């Protein structure tokens, strides 16, 4: 059935924004906010926008922030607290270091206007370069292209999108800061965009981490995760997507104090069935706790009406992800904020097997789960560009280049793309999305952060909700739950999925 006009308007570019020298008139139902220096933000009605001012300084927040140490504070209170601590513009980095959420933040004073986003880049930001006459920023490049009448870059279309391997890649993600349009780049995590100077600057990691032991990291992560969930529960109705993996189980343990108030669900998509461990174990786990578990069956395809708006919302949208989004549109309670366990890779060194190898763009493409696209020449070129800059940051800070690769590429460009596409059906919370937590993970010796048995995540679960260990985690194919649980507790199989 075709969408009504009002429903189409609600879903079009849902939870997105566009910033430029003028408001975008065609979105006449969207919010409008003047920033500074003639810059104007036009924001979808479902994207929260919060403004705070103090002594000539201004903060404008797109999305939401969580303070795990002050869970009663809302966005306005958090912004005021940041402003009160700012003496110089660079204080904004320390002011956001402990915060979670999914956000983009603009700082403005009489001399500076800067934009940065959350540590994993999950509230995506793209921006124009000097190749175009005016500065524009947005959630994705299609809205800028639509406003300015831009066509996709022919070279990108030919060498990347037009490559046979692109169509074969189920969950391909864009490398480096590349976009489909010449003159539009992706703002990567750990950097801020100087909106006056139209230049991008890295601000983190800025020093060598002080080494901590795994137990200390476990304690810190457990406390912060509980604070993140508590803070979120005071503001949002929550849902939690549950699987058989470590990430899902670890975040579930942090939800213990509010577990009765969460909508638990698992999605059936691709080739999954009711017997797939992600389905069967998730159901047994949740119902065994006396909680209600929901299954969301996703169709094989989006259907023409949903597909039209889904593809329009994000250039290069994934067809497979679109079918999952359609399942959520039909069955997921869209007023709920969805807790996801993704992002804990900084605790598990998913690429540790390659730590001792020379880091090249070809190695990154091989490690990055790109499928057929790992041999694409344009992909290799843009990984090489990212690598040439990130190597300097790695050398100065002592953070391994593959740890940065996970944060700045795998999470920002793969997980970030997924969350952007699914903004049409849900807002998301990744509790790991905190610079403080990422820094804590980077501070632990790599040998203590293996992905075969994630020591720190295991410790968090034992500390917060040990009963969750009664069900197996990521059992190998063919091993049923009754056999898997004692084998898993004895450590008799590897755990190398779900990072």
Block means of pLDDT (10 residues each) for the chain, length 499 residues? 90 98 96 95 98 95 98 98 95 98 97 97 98 97 97 96 83 93 97 97 92 95 98 98 96 98 96 89 97 96 95 93 96 96 89 88 90 90 97 94 95 96 98 97 85 87 97 74 43 36
Judge whether 336 and 426 are in contact, CB under 8 Å: yes
What pLDDT score was predicted for residue 492? 39
Would strands 113-117 and 40-43 be described as parallel, antiparallel, or unpaired? unpaired
Residue 315, SS3 per DSSP: coil
Tokens of 454: 């994630």
Residues of the chain with CATH 3.40.50.620: 214-345+416-489
Rounded Cα–Cα distance for residues 344 and 406 (Å): 10
- Please state the φ and ψ torsions of residue 421, each to the nearest 5 degrees: -65, -35
Q: What angle do CA 395, 400, 406 make, to 5 degrees?
A: 125
Which of 402-418 are b and which e, b meaning 16 or more Cβ less than 10 Å from the residue's Cβ?
A: bbbbbbbbbbbbbbbbb
CATH of domain 214-345+416-489: 3.40.50.620
Judge whether 440 and 212 are in contact, CB under 8 Å: yes
Rounded Cα–Cα distance for residues 147 and 22 (Å): 11
What pLDDT score was predicted for residue 462? 97
Rounded Cα–Cα distance for residues 304 and 301 (Å): 9
Task: Supply the pTM of this predicted model.
Answer: 0.94
What pLDDT score was predicted for residue 224? 98
Rounded Cα–Cα distance for residues 191 and 63 (Å): 18
Judge whether 190 and 409 are in contact, CB under 8 Å: no
Tokens of 80: 């005021």
Residue 188, SS3 per DSSP: coil
Q: How many CB atoms lie within 10 A of CB 447?
A: 11
Give domain 9-202's CATH superfamily. Answer: Aminohydrolase, N-terminal nucleophile (Ntn) domain (3.60.20.10)
Residue 240, SS3 per DSSP: strand
What pLDDT score was predicted for residue 488? 42
What pLDDT score was predicted for residue 452? 67
Residues of the chain with CATH 3.60.20.10: 9-202
């Amino acid at each position: 059935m075709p969408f009504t006009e009002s429903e189409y308007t609600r879903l079009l570019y849902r939870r997105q924004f566009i910033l430029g020298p003028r408001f975008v008139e065609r979105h006449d139902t969207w919010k409008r906010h003047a920033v500074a220096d003639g810059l104007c933000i036009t924001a979808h009605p479902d994207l929260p926008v919060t403004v705070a001012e103090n002594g000539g300084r201004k903060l404008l927040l797109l999305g939401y922030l969580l303070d795990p140490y002050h869970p009663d504070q809302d966005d306005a209170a958090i912004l005021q607290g940041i402003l009160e601590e700012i003496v110089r513009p660079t204080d904004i980095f320390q002011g956001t270091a402990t915060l979670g959420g999914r956000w983009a933040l603009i700082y403005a004073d009489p001399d500076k206007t800067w934009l940065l986003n959350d540590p994993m880049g999950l509230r995506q930001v793209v921006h124009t370069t000097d190749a175009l006459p005016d500065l524009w920023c947005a959630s994705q490049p299609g809205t800028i292209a639509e406003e300015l009448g831009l066509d996709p870059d022919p070279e990108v279309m030919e060498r990347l999108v037009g490559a046979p391997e692109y169509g074969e890649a189920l969950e391909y993600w864009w490398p480096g800061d590349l976009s489909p349009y010449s003159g539009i780049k992706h703002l990567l995590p750990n950097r801020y965009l100087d909106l006056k100077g139209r230049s991008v600057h890295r601000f983190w990691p800025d020093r060598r981490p002080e080494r901590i032991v795994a137990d200390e990291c476990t304690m810190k992560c457990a406390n912060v995760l509980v604070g993140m969930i508590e803070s979120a529960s005071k503001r949002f109705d929550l849902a939690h997507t549950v699987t058989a993996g470590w990430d899902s189980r670890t975040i579930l343990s942090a939800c213990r104090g509010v577990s009765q108030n969460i909508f638990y669900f698992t999605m059936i998509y691709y080739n999954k069935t009711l017997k797939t461990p992600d389905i069967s174990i998730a159901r047994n786990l949740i119902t065994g706790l006396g909680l209600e578990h929901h299954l969301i069956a996703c169709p094989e395809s989006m259907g023409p009406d949903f597909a039209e708006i889904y593809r329009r919302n994000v250039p290069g949208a994934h067809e497979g992800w679109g079918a999952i989004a359609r399942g959520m549109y039909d069955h997921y309670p869209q007023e709920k904020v969805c807790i996801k366990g993704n992002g804990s890779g900084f605790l598990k060194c998913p690429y540790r097997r390659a730590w001792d190898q020379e880091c090249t763009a070809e190695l990154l493409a091989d490690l990055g789960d790109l499928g057929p696209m790992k041999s694409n020449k344009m992909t290799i070129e843009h990984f090489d560009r990212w690598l040439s800059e990130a190597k300097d940051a790695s050398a100065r800070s002592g953070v391994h280049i593959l740890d940065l690769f996970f944060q700045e590429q795998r999470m920002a460009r793969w997980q970030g793309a997924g969350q952007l596409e699914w903004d049409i059906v849900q807002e998301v919370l990744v509790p790991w999305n905190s610079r403080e937590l990422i820094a804590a993970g980077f501070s632990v010796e790599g040998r203590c952060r293996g992905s075969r048995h994630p020591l720190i995540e295991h410790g968090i679960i034992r500390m917060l909700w040990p009963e969750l260990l009664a069900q197996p985690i990521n059992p190998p194919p063919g091993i049923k739950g009754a056999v898997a649980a004692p084998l898993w507790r004895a450590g008799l199989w590897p755990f190398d999925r779900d990072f």
